Amino acid sequence: MSECPRTDRFGSVALVGAGPGDPDLLTLRAVKAIQSADVLLFDALIDPSILDLARPDARRIDVGKRCGRHAMQQAAINRLIVDNALRGARVVRLKGGDPFIFGRGGEELDSLRAAGIPVEVVPGVTAACAAASSLQIPLTHRDTARSLHFVTGHGSDGLTPNHDWAGLVRAGGTIAAYMSGRTLGTVAARLIDAGMAGSTPAVAVENASRANESHVFGTLAALPGLLAERGFAGPTLVLIGAVVDLAAARTIVLPQAA
């Protein structure tokens, strides 16, 4: 039975980036897509005020994944998106950040293409850009960072992926390590083992762009311990590189003496 009957044979799907959390960072295109939705499948960290942009009659489905508590497996989410679109609905898959930056948008896109369903992708502001803007850290700089590398500190198995750490160190520039709150010790150790100086500036940012945003500055070697002391529980991004020294208001926290 169709939840949202339409006159066309198939519906359509928009993979929409909701940005890092602050509703003011939504794009106009994202707002229009949300307002047009018959069915809205949203992530766990989407701000409730963003959901309020949808029509009152739109069906809202929470498919969010929380650390250690997955509300729904990715394969089930893919099927839900496809099934609603096949029933004729205009489906919006609302994702934190950008759909194609550690958002599993590619997996959803594959499923929709296989089913022959029209897909639109709406980009969103990613957490690295939001965190850098909040702290006024230029992610690239002609004098200190000519490259930018997005990596994840948390793989599908819960472990730190086996990146080419030596290659990252050789490339220089800025590293934005997503989902690294729980794995920063491993990330830092592997970078240092690969030749990065332990004194390299770094900052951890929790809940970038939100009213409860928190951050802690330190060195690459010291930051894992500082982060553990602060007990960040929300989504945490770590920026590593010389550009961190250019932050508008930088206070380095040193580890407590034993």
Question: Of the segments 67-71, 173-177, 246-250, which one has the largest average pLDDT value?
Answer: 173-177
The pLDDT score that the predictor gives to residue 127 is 97
Q: Which of 8, 32, 38, 65 is catalytic?
A: 65
65 included as an active-site residue: yes
Mean pLDDT across the stretch 84-104?
96
Mean pLDDT across the stretch 143-159?
89
Range from 31-45, 139-153, 178-192, 240-254 carrying the lowest mean pLDDT: 240-254
Strand runs labelled E in the chain: 12-17, 39-42, 59-62, 65-66, 69-70, 90-95, 119-122, 148-152, 174-178, 201-206, 214-219, 236-240
Could you tell me the pLDDT band of residue 80, with boundaries at 50, 70 and 90? very high
Domains and their CATH numbers in the chain: 12-122 (3.40.1010.10), 127-246 (3.30.950.10)
Report how far Cα 160 is from the mean position of its chain's Cα atoms: 16
The pTM of the full predicted model, rounded to 2 decimals, is 0.89
Q: Which of 38, 43, 47, 98 is catalytic?
A: 43
Share of the chain above pLDDT 70, in %: 90
43 included as an active-site residue: yes
> DSSP character for 246?
G
Tell me the pLDDT tens digit for each residue of 4-51: 444 356 899 999 999 999 999 999 999 999 999 999 999 988 999 999
Question: Residue 155 is which amino acid?
Answer: G
